[in-house]
Structure 1
Amino acid sequence: MILIVDDRKENILSLKSILELHKFEVDTAASGEEALRKILRSDYELVILDVQMPGMDGFEVAEAISGYSKSKDIPIIFLTAVSIDKRFIQKGYKSGGIDYVTKPFDPDILLLKVKTFSRLHDQNKKLHDIQLELRQEIEFRKDAEQQLNAMNQSLEQKIAERTENLVSANAELAKKNLELQQFAYIASHDLKEPLRKIQIFGNLIKDKIITPGEKSELYVQKVIHSADRMSALVNDVLAYSAIDIPKKFEPVDLNKVLHEIINDFEILIEEKNAVISKNNLPVVEMIPIQARQLLQNLVANAIKFSRDGVNPMIAVNAELIEEKDWNAQPVDVSRAKYCIITVKDNGIGFQDEYSDKIFSIFQRLHSSDAFEGTGIGLAIAKKITETHKGFITAKSEPGKGSAFSVLLPLHQTDPSEYQTTNA
């Protein structure tokens, strides 16, 4: 809005008509006092101020306008009929004016000046708004940075406390695990001695004291059988508790391991007419004894849980993959980082819904009368797999067999590091 200040109505009407014709919003004041009152209440982009007025003249009004913090930046154009000389111009600029228009004024010149100062006012206002937004943004960012620093400090403190708690908890857990391993080992070891005596004396009674065919022979045989099962259970508990004891990882050729297992199971394989096939198995960085336990438990299960009247067909196959993903596509050995070992059989199978349950310790899906075992073999397989940072899973269908798959990293350490340390 533009404020016209003039004590003569004809001058105000003339100026107002010209400005409104060019879409400017105009306000008027007939004296300096009225102009100052309006400036205190409203915002103006430009003041056109007559110099010669009764009461306060234009210079006094300009000085008053420039003295208000609210209006000090409003541009002022003096409108005067007085001849312009140097002293008059100096007085005008000192009082706060920025330009002069002499009476009678040229409408085009006046409009040009008004448009120029109006545009400058708009630009200054936009610049002021931008500066205000920037200051607000700076303040906001400072506050955000302070809050972020406070949050980071709090988070770092919580992380430090959590880390300290975890370290303490891990140390306590390691201590408890060691105590548990020692207890399991000692308890199992101490159980072996009386078990051996039960087995020895049971066999002596059966062979030298009891006459074949006596009813007591059946009872003694049950005692011996129970002692044998208890001995197997003790051995498996010892094996399970020993998995967590730190051991050295070494390159293990799974082809050789499987060959040794087949030789060990030679009598059982012949009894069941089992056929074991394989493709080329990889060399995997593992704890050797645990690599053997893993394959041995999976192959033993495949032979043991066979169907009556059906020769066990067992396939041990491997594929190399680049990603730790069951669905990863096979790759050549130069790109391989992991392998999937699958032991597949045509045995009795089980409901697929039990595929996770069977890896729990002492978990059995069949009675001990139907199939011998301790219920620890697959738990051992799972624990060994996890020790080697891998996964194990099973798929099965009743009457159609099972497939146990193990996903393992080929290296437990960086291959180049391993080669350097073993060169």
Structure 2
Amino acid sequence: MQKNEKANILIVDDKVSNIFALEQVLSRPDRNFIRAINGKEALKNVLNKDIDLVILDVQMPDMDGFEVAQIMKSHKRTKDIPIIFASAEKKEHKFMMKGFEEGAVDYLYKPLDASITEAKVSVLLQLHLQKRELIRKNATLEKHALLINNSADIICIINARTLKFEEMNDAVNAMLGYTVEEMKESSILFYLAGEDRLALQELSKENREKFSFEARVYGKDRGIKWLNWNIVNRNGLWFANARDITSMKEVEEIKNYLAIVVKQSNDAIYLHDREGKIISWNEGAEKIYGFSETEALNMKIWNIVPEHLLSEMQAVINEIVEGKKIESKEMRRITKYGQMIDVIFSASVISDLKGDLRSVAITEREITQQKKADQDIRQLNADLRTNLAELERTNKDLEAFSYSVSHDLRAPLRSINGYARIILEDHPAQLDEELQRLFGNIQNNAKKMGMLIDDLLAFSRLGRRRVTKIPVDLTELACMALNDLDEGERTRARISIGALPSTKGDPSLLHQVMVNLISNAVKYSGKRAMPEIEIGSSENEEEYIYFVKDNGTGFDMAYAHKLFGVFQRLHNDHDFEGTGVGLAIVHRIITKHGGRVWAEGQPDRGATFYFSLPKPNI
């Protein structure tokens, strides 16, 4: 439950006095009570409001509590709301079992015992609210993880002291050719060109909170790319974002060279002699500076240089005259109307056939709007860093919550299971056969709840696991999965494995996919006289497609969309055991590999589950 959010408890009783009595017993600042005096009013409330727990009177006119519970459990919006029945009579077994069959999780008997009532309500509310919060946080985490892992930019964490990479996303592979594991624990300096390496070392000594720099970076093939780095320095760590600007650099250079000879360029292209007198002026220069060609030919270059930069410009001209080529140097200029602008300046000497200096060719581009755009990009990067920090906080919260689920929920389950075992073992003479069966059911349900907790934690941890792709033999993984089966199940079913092409992926995760799908096929075909399971593949231009086919109970395609959701099951526990997490794990693993998952089936005619993986050269 989020901060300042109250739990909504719906109390349904045809006697208002009973409702008031329950409210007095359960009253707490973090609870809100909603009343209903009949079944219709109760159903209206659960459909239109967010209800966290229902306390439902069994004996009511028109529609009793069992009927209300049955309707709630059949509706998608209300089926997961926990129900406690309240009753003053009919405590025999058949009456209790009817309540449990209709979806009740517990009973309260009138007159109410205040401590027992509060304890039962508190436990059920805690379980329900923690489950809902876990699902919400897991969905948020998955969105943030997808945002980072699907980013075209490199997002990484660097140790500010050692300059070694500690964490990074998969973009390094597409951008530089290295895997994440190859770059982790290596220094960023290893990948930088010489001058940029020295510049970064100097920057690191300044220990600034935020800074940006451009650097030439070597890829695995030793090719060079230009990356624009934006750094936030926090607690000895650099939270970094690197964008590939190689194309921008290349285009910029090409434009500058072509601008020298292209008269109609939108860039300012002009020539001046040794003394700075302008001898050529194109339309681009007129647009940028406002001077017509006639005006410019009566000017010197110093007319468009701000006064405080004259000496700097003179030094640059001297270097050009001596033969130095200037490429993409950022400078300031002043227009005819006194406006100060930023330009990218390129220049070189134009000589005659004898090598004598004829003039200086200059190309200038207006970059004021570009600098504004750069500022916008920096703001976007700052926002991304903020989101990254928020994601880290969310990760920590989820880890803490997972720890709480793993430990705080297991303790009461162990107690329930232990007490039931003690009663069965120490007091068998006082329990008839039916009571012994009920205590056995309590133990089984406690064990199932433990399995649900384990599966939910496994599903949550999977969302944070990084995929390491190496060559994988899918045939070998399928054989290993078969060996994991119970020997009786393996020998009873007729299982065939066709040609399964090898690809790249995470071996342990893809092994889990095979285990889950093959176990699923064995389970749902287990009631056949001759269970048959086929494991095979096909392919298209971009991907390999693998399938596991069985001749089991099948399913209605109208409900296929539920197959891969957490805790979504199309068959009840009486027919087939399970928690509803196995296929959700399959979906998450294949999605993290960039593949797809789907299924086809017909009721009582078997099912086929498919998953695809990209071909290694795609």
Cα distance between partner residues in 1 of 2:478 and 2:425 = 37
Cα distance between partner residues in 1 of 2:287 and 2:556 = 62
Residue 266 in structure 1 maps to residue 486 in structure 2 = yes
Residue 350 in structure 1 maps to residue 544 in structure 2 = no
Which ranges of 4 or more aligned residues in structure 1 deviate by more than 6 Å? 148-151
Asked if the contact 1:359/1:379 (under 8 Å) is kept, the reply is yes
Residue 305 in structure 1 maps to residue 524 in structure 2 = yes
Residue 242 in structure 1 maps to residue 461 in structure 2 = yes
Aligned residue in 2 for 1:402: 607
Aligned residue in 2 for 1:252: 472
**Structure 1 residues 371 and 158, CA, compared in 2 at 3 Å: closer, same or farther?**
farther
Cα distance between partner residues in 1 of 2:475 and 2:441 = 39
Cα distance between partner residues in 1 of 2:424 and 2:413 = 16
Q: How far did residue 170 of structure 1 move?
A: 3.2
Asked if the contact 1:283/1:410 (under 8 Å) is kept, the reply is no
Cα distance between partner residues in 1 of 2:615 and 2:426 = 55
**Structure 1 residues 150 and 241, CA, compared in 2 at 3 Å: closer, same or farther?**
same
Cα distance between partner residues in 1 of 2:442 and 2:488 = 24
Equivalent in 167, 171, 182 of residue 389 of structure 2: 171
Q: How far did residue 165 of structure 1 move?
A: 1.8
The superposition leaves residues 5-25 of structure 1 with CA deviations (integer Å, 9 ceiling, x where unpaired) of: xxxxxxxxxxxxxxxxxxxxx
Residue 385 in structure 1 maps to residue 590 in structure 2 = yes
**Structure 1 residues 152 and 359, CA, compared in 2 at 3 Å: closer, same or farther?**
farther
Cα distance between partner residues in 2 of 1:165 and 1:197 = 48
Residue 356 of structure 1 aligns to a residue whose secondary structure is helix
Q: How far did residue 270 of structure 1 move?
A: 5.4
Q: How far did residue 155 of structure 1 move?
A: 5.0
Q: How far did residue 206 of structure 1 move?
A: 3.6
- TM-score calculated relative to the size of structure 1: 0.53
**Structure 1 residues 287 and 367, CA, compared in 2 at 3 Å: closer, same or farther?**
same
Residue 363 of structure 1 aligns to a residue whose secondary structure is coil
The superposition leaves residues 135-186 of structure 1 with CA deviations (integer Å, 9 ceiling, x where unpaired) of: xxx69x969xxxx977766655444433432332133224313431342144
Residue 363 in structure 1 maps to residue 568 in structure 2 = yes
Residue 314 in structure 1 maps to residue 314 in structure 2 = no
Cα distance between partner residues in 2 of 1:299 and 1:282 = 18
Name the structure where strand makes up a greater proportion of residues.
2
Residue 168 of structure 1 aligns to a residue whose secondary structure is helix
Equivalent in 494, 499, 520 of residue 280 of structure 1: 499
Cα distance between partner residues in 2 of 1:267 and 1:240 = 27
One-letter code aligned to 1:390 = G
Aligned residue in 2 for 1:12: none
Asked if the contact 2:477/2:511 (under 8 Å) is kept, the reply is yes
Aligned residue in 2 for 1:85: none
Q: How far did residue 230 of structure 1 move?
A: 0.9
Q: How far did residue 283 of structure 1 move?
A: 3.5
**Structure 1 residues 389 and 171, CA, compared in 2 at 3 Å: closer, same or farther?**
farther
Residue 359 of structure 1 aligns to a residue whose secondary structure is coil
One-letter code aligned to 2:549 = K
**Structure 1 residues 309 and 318, CA, compared in 2 at 3 Å: closer, same or farther?**
closer
Residue 341 in structure 1 maps to residue 546 in structure 2 = yes
Cα distance between partner residues in 2 of 1:293 and 1:386 = 14
The superposition leaves residues 211-270 of structure 1 with CA deviations (integer Å, 9 ceiling, x where unpaired) of: 696221111111111012112111111211111233644443333332232222224615
Q: How far did residue 310 of structure 1 move?
A: 4.5
Q: How far did residue 205 of structure 1 move?
A: 4.2
Name the structure where helix makes up a greater proportion of residues.
1
Q: How far did residue 404 of structure 1 move?
A: 1.4
Correspondence list, 1:20-419, <5 A: 156-200=374-418, 202-203=420-421, 205-206=423-424, 209-210=427-428, 214-243=433-462, 244-246=464-466, 248-267=468-487, 269=489, 273-306=492-525, 308-323=527-542, 338-409=543-614, 411=616
Cα distance between partner residues in 2 of 1:268 and 1:374 = 22
Cα distance between partner residues in 2 of 1:201 and 1:252 = 48
- How many pairs does the alignment contain? 262
Asked if the contact 2:484/2:515 (under 8 Å) is kept, the reply is no
Asked if the contact 2:455/2:579 (under 8 Å) is kept, the reply is yes
Cα distance between partner residues in 1 of 2:517 and 2:466 = 23
Cα distance between partner residues in 1 of 2:413 and 2:487 = 25
Asked if the contact 2:495/2:532 (under 8 Å) is kept, the reply is yes
Cα distance between partner residues in 1 of 2:538 and 2:287 = 56
One-letter code aligned to 2:586 = A
One-letter code aligned to 1:384 = I
In structure 1, runs of 5+ residues without a counterpart are: 1-137, 324-337, 416-423
RMSD value, Cα = 3.7
One-letter code aligned to 1:229 = K
Asked if the contact 1:275/1:312 (under 8 Å) is kept, the reply is yes
Compare relative contact order (CA 8 Å, sep 6+) and give the higher one, 1 or 2. Answer: 1
Q: How far did residue 207 of structure 1 move?
A: 5.0
Aligned residue in 2 for 1:95: none
Q: How far did residue 314 of structure 1 move?
A: 1.5
**Structure 1 residues 340 and 164, CA, compared in 2 at 3 Å: closer, same or farther?**
farther
In structure 2, runs of 5+ residues without a counterpart are: 1-282, 289-365
Q: How far did residue 302 of structure 1 move?
A: 1.5
Cα distance between partner residues in 2 of 1:279 and 1:236 = 30
The superposition leaves residues 284-335 of structure 1 with CA deviations (integer Å, 9 ceiling, x where unpaired) of: 4333332222122212222222374443321111335441xxxxxxxxxxxx
**Structure 1 residues 403 and 149, CA, compared in 2 at 3 Å: closer, same or farther?**
farther
**Structure 1 residues 182 and 210, CA, compared in 2 at 3 Å: closer, same or farther?**
same
**Structure 1 residues 196 and 165, CA, compared in 2 at 3 Å: closer, same or farther?**
same
